[in-house]
A and B are shown apart, each in its own frame.
Chain A
Amino acid sequence: MQMRVPLARRASAVTRTIAATALLAALAAHGQAQSPVAEGKTALDPAALGALDKMGAYLRSIKAFQVKAVTTTEDVLDDGQKVQYSGVTDLMTTRTPDRLRADVSSDRQERMYLYDGKEFTLFAKRLGYYATAAAPPTLGELTDRLAERYDIQVPLVDLFKWGPSNSAGITGAMDLGPSEVAGVTCQHYAFRQEGLDWQIWIQKGDYPLPRRLVATTTTDEARPQFTAYYDWNLAPSFNDSAFTFVPPPDAEKIVFAADNAPAGAAR
């Protein structure tokens, strides 16, 4: 992929020759990557990276969507034993103006995330607690702010992070061929990056949506996995009130620890 830029820009015949050679090498690598067993060495298949970028660009072009994800997450206990928790995330979002609503229900937590373009609210339904914070105007900024200041990951955050270019940090990319996910014909890809091996199933055709994700954490020898199946609705019906939090009568407002006064100072 990177070869094209110097090829187009530089005039010297020598450079062209070098670039052409590199291009041939890249094409050869591409050929190998399609049979992953070939060398046992990690390869970067440009077609796999291209498919990821195409999916990312498509995701960014969607104005509104609702996605229901069935997820599993593994924890590693101190002795290396793995345990798996399951959950369901129902997320609805729209762009310009940016809004988000997500209901996350897992074995361990039930949380609602609401973002109306001005404020972010986290609501713990079973406990009846909610907290609200001022929020930036775009989803991109929101995901960063929540992660950095509040240690909160927007549910299914990858769906907001993938874009037209995703190759930074990727050290391995393979195309594993066609695969059916919940009745939808997909192409199955596998990627490697520092600390994480992951696989994605991207819908074939005009709507290159992620349909399944498997992410394997490689920094722990137990290699805990996160998995998600995504069910898409690209024409959700909603009105603006869907993104505004109206606390139930018995709910109590609490604080985000990050916004709380220094320890010991009561308010």
Chain B
Amino acid sequence: MSSLRSSLPVALAVLLAGGTAFAGTRGTARTSVNRGGGKANHNANVNRNTNVNRNVNVNQNVNVNRHVDVDVHHHGGYYGGGCCYNSYHPVATAAAVTATAMVTAAVIGSIVNTVPSGCSSVVINGIGYQQCGSTWYQPQFSGTQTTYIVVNAPR
């Protein structure tokens, strides 16, 4: 997480690492009355969306890019305005994630929700990895979500 400043793809990584929610979700119901429930900072993560999506301009998916602009308008205020943009579908989000995973494949430390297709499962020293060509992803639990962090080749 400390490499947040270094690149926009990493910002996406942080976003994805944070939530059980889809990227187009601004919030979720608290599921506990008492403190110590964790999950307190999801909204902050969701908000980083803004940086992330600008970056997605790289890819060709028109739908995705449309959502990007929407989020840019929402600078800093995920509860504000809240008006009128109704097409931030999980499907589009998934497209953004997948596309970005490929774009940023070589950036060590970046985190994605899913790995590209055609990866193979490899266990090294008892720990599972996903090898996708020359890129290695390490699956991990971020909260209870699984995410994949790009690592140097473990062997």
Residues 91-128 of chain B, each 1 if its beta carbon lies under 8 Å from chain A, else 0: 00000000000000000111000000000010101111
Bound form: Cα–Cα A52–B85 in Å: 42
Bound form: Cα–Cα A262–B85 in Å: 37
| Majority secondary structure, A binding face | mixed
Asked if A153 meets B83 with Cβ closer than 8 Å, knowing A78-B24, A263-B3, the reply is no
Bound form: Cα–Cα A225–B33 in Å: 12
- Closest chain A residue to B49, Cβ basis: A78
Question: Most chain-B Cβ atoms within 10 A of its Cβ — which of A124, A162, A215, A266?
Answer: A266
Bound form: Cα–Cα A78–B153 in Å: 38
Asked if B28 and A74 sit within 8 Å, CB to CB, the answer is yes
Per the CB 8 Å criterion, the residue count for chain A at the interface is: 60
Bound form: Cα–Cα A264–B154 in Å: 11
Bound form: Cα–Cα A78–B74 in Å: 10
Asked if A254 meets B138 with Cβ closer than 8 Å, knowing A221-B82, A264-B3, A266-B151, the reply is yes
Whether A143 sits at the interface, judged by CB under 8 Å, is yes
Whether A39 sits at the interface, judged by CB under 8 Å, is no
Whether A233 sits at the interface, judged by CB under 8 Å, is no
Residues 1-28 of chain B, each 1 if its beta carbon lies under 8 Å from chain A, else 0: 1110000001000000100111011111
Asked if A266 meets B146 with Cβ closer than 8 Å, knowing A81-B86, A221-B82, A254-B140, the reply is no
Residues 112-148 of chain A, each 1 if its beta carbon lies under 8 Å from chain B, else 0: 0000000000101001010100000000000110111
Asked if B37 and A257 sit within 8 Å, CB to CB, the answer is no
Interface hits, A138-185 → B, CB 8 Å: 143-144, 146-148, 150-153, 157-158, 161-162
Asked if A150 meets B143 with Cβ closer than 8 Å, knowing A254-B127, A266-B152, A267-B127, the reply is yes
- Closest chain A residue to B124, Cβ basis: A267
Residues of chain A within 8 A of B110, CB atoms compared: 263
Asked if B126 and A76 sit within 8 Å, CB to CB, the answer is no
Asked if A196 and B33 sit within 8 Å, CB to CB, the answer is yes
Asked if A79 and B82 sit within 8 Å, CB to CB, the answer is yes
Bound form: Cα–Cα A113–B24 in Å: 28
Show the binding face of B for A, using Cβ within 8 Å.
1-3, 10, 17, 20-22, 24-39, 70-71, 74, 78-79, 82-86, 88, 108-110, 121, 123, 125-128, 136, 138-147, 149, 151-154
Listed by A's residue number, 29 A-B pairs whose Cβ atoms lie within 8 Å are A71-B31, A73-B28, A74-B28, A77-B25, A78-B24, A122-B141, A124-B146, A129-B146, A131-B141, A143-B36, A147-B37, A148-B36, A152-B141, A152-B143, A153-B37, A162-B34, A215-B30, A219-B79, A252-B121, A252-B127, A253-B128, A254-B127, A255-B127, A255-B138, A257-B140, A257-B142, A263-B1, A266-B151, A267-B127
